[in-house]
Amino acid sequence: MRIMSSKLKRIVVVFLCAQAYALSGCTTTANQDLSVSEVDPYEDINRKVYAFNMTVDELCRRTCRQCL
Question: How much is the mean pLDDT over the chain?
Answer: 79
Express each pLDDT in 5-32 by its tens digit. Answer: 888 888 888 888 788 777 776 666 656 6
Residue 64 has pLDDT above 90, yes or no: no
Task: Check residue 45 and give its pLDDT.
Answer: 93
pTM, rounded to two decimals:
0.42
Rounded Cα distance between 57 and 51, Å, is: 10
Residue 32 zone, left/alpha/beta (φ > 0; ψ -120 to 50; rest): beta
Residue 26: CA atoms inside 13 Å, Cβ hemisphere, count?
Answer: 5
DSSP 67: H
